[in-house]
């Protein structure tokens, strides 16, 4: 996808970027930054010795540290890519080692709780600009990353009140260079938007896969065999990283419970339509939901492949 990016930069945007936590997102950031020549020295930090060894093997960083405190010294950009529940602890540890003027960011899927957990530890001369790239797959670990993960995806920045505009602008430039569209909003609004577009969908996917696993009348083997009728699409998102998702739900509790409440009300209404045979009500809803799908395809947020990605078509309809 190198043709997406018109021309390489004359000069790197950052001197030393440190990725703390080298999983799917962290390793994709290292790959994308290298491909675009956005950073002079790429640094990986991960508390797991195995991950550090693997990062060395695949060669996606110039320097690798198990100790984040050592890694962040002198960095002008530090991005925390650990699970959300851990970001506050990591920030508290590295804060004393950050140089004045450094930009600190993260990639957590919730923002209000991250701001609350990180901000108090930072000195005034460190610029904290939280970010959330709305991109991912159900795979985890340093091998799962790829350099085009963020291309044509949205990245949401949620700078707290009084953030340094230059720092925000520079981070925005970084994300734009790796192919993302950047949107800026408040942490609270971000959490509400993501609750409905990501967190509740994951929750109900996890839930139905759990329900199916616990049945007695229908065997697990039958559930797997006949999953092509719709179920398999839920298992895909219900295979995402368990720790990451536990943290998301615990850290975006209010917005998730609010959206789940609405989902439940609507589902009760739908259940009642089925019980009482209200065919008109059912087809009205089913017709309305088609329009949203069309908008998502029109705006390039999904491929129109008619086969759920099964045959490997990338947008064109199978013959």
Least separation in angstroms between residue 230's CB and its own copies is 4
Restricted to residues 49-108, the positions that interact with its own copies (CB under 8 A) are 85
Rule CB under 8 A: say whether 227 interacts with its own copies: yes
For residues 127 and 259, what is the distance between their CA atoms, to the nearest angstrom? 32
Task: Indicate the residue among 11 and 288 with the shorter CB distance to its own copies.
Answer: 288
For residues 19 and 82, what is the distance between their CA atoms, to the nearest angstrom? 9
Least separation in angstroms between residue 145's CB and its own copies is 9
Rule CB under 8 A: say whether 234 interacts with its own copies: yes
CA angle 91, 95, 101 (to 5 degrees): 115
Give the Å distances, CA to CA, from 234 to 52, 134, 205.
Answer: 32, 18, 5
Name the segment binding its own copies (CB under 8 A); options: 6-14, 60-68, 122-130, 135-143: 135-143
Task: Indicate the residue among 7 and 225 with the shorter CB distance to its own copies.
Answer: 225
Cβ(156)–Cβ(184) under 8 Å? yes
Cβ(247)–Cβ(85) under 8 Å? yes
Contact residue for its own copies among 63, 89, 169, 271 (CB under 8 A): 271
Task: Indicate the residue among 28 and 98 with the shorter CB distance to its own copies.
Answer: 28
Rule CB under 8 A: say whether 169 interacts with its own copies: no
Rule CB under 8 A: say whether 250 interacts with its own copies: yes
CA angle 276, 278, 281 (to 5 degrees): 140
Task: Indicate the residue among 176 and 301 with the shorter CB distance to its own copies.
Answer: 301
Strands 154-157 and 131-133: antiparallel
Q: How many C-beta neighbours within 10 Å does residue 286 have?
A: 9
Cα atoms in the Cβ-side hemisphere of radius 13 Å centred on 60:
29
Contact residue for its own copies among 71, 98, 110, 134 (CB under 8 A): 134
Contact pattern from residue 138 through residue 157 relative to its own copies, giving x for each residue in contact according to CB under 8 A and a dash for the rest = xx----x-x-x----xx-x-
Least separation in angstroms between residue 33's CB and its own copies is 16
Restricted to residues 191-220, the positions that interact with its own copies (CB under 8 A) are 192-194, 196-215, 217-218, 220
Rule CB under 8 A: say whether 318 interacts with its own copies: yes
Rule CB under 8 A: say whether 2 interacts with its own copies: no
Rule CB under 8 A: say whether 317 interacts with its own copies: yes
Name the segment binding its own copies (CB under 8 A); options: 13-21, 63-71, 163-171, 221-229: 221-229
For residues 295 and 300, what is the distance between their CA atoms, to the nearest angstrom? 9
Give the end-to-end CA distance of the chain in Å, rounded to a whole number.
26
List, in order, residues 6 or more apart from 236 with CB less than 8 Å away.
138, 205
* Residue 28: closest CA among 109, 148, 130, 129: 148
Helix (H, G, I), strand (E, B) or coil at 230: coil
Name the segment binding its own copies (CB under 8 A); options: 5-13, 97-105, 116-124, 263-271: 263-271
Rule CB under 8 A: say whether 47 interacts with its own copies: no
Rule CB under 8 A: say whether 288 interacts with its own copies: yes
């Amino acid at each position: 996808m190198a043709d997406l990016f018109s021309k390489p930069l004359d000069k790197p945007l950052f001197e030393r970027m440190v990725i703390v936590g080298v999983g799917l997102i962290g390793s994709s950031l290292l790959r994308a930054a290298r491909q675009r020549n956005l950073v002079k020295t790429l640094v990986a930090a991960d508390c797991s010795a195995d991950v550090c060894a693997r990062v060395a093997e695949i060669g996606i960083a110039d320097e690798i540290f198990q100790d984040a405190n050592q890694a962040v010294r002198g960095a002008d950009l530090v991005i925390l890519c650990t699970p959300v529940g851990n970001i506050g602890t990591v920030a508290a540890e590295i804060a004393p080692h950050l140089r004045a003027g450094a930009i600190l960011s993260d990639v957590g899927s919730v923002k209000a709780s991250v701001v609350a957990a990180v901000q108090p530890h930072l000195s005034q001369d460190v610029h904290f600009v939280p970010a959330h790239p709305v991109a991912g797959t159900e795979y985890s670990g340093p091998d799962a990353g790829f350099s085009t993960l963020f291309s044509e995806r949205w990245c949401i920045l949620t700078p707290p009140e009084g953030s340094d505009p230059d720092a925000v602008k520079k981070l925005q430039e970084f994300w734009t260079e790796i192919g993302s569209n950047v949107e800026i909003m408040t942490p609270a609004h971000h959490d509400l938007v993501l609750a409905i577009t990501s967190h509740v969908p994951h929750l109900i996917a996890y839930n139905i896969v759990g329900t199916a696993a616990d049945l007695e009348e229908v065997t697990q083997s039958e559930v797997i065999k006949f999953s092509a009728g719709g179920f398999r699409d839920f298992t895909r998102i219900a295979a995402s990283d368990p720790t990451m998702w536990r943290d998301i739900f615990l850290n975006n509790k209010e917005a998730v419970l609010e959206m789940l409440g609405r989902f439940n009300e609507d589902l009760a209404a739908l259940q009642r339509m089925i019980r009482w045979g209200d065919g008109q009500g059912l087809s009205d809803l089913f017709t309305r939901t088609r329009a949203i799908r069309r908008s998502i395809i029109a705006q390039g947020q999904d491929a129109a492949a008619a086969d759920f990605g099964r045959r490997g078509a990338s947008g064109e309809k199978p013959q």
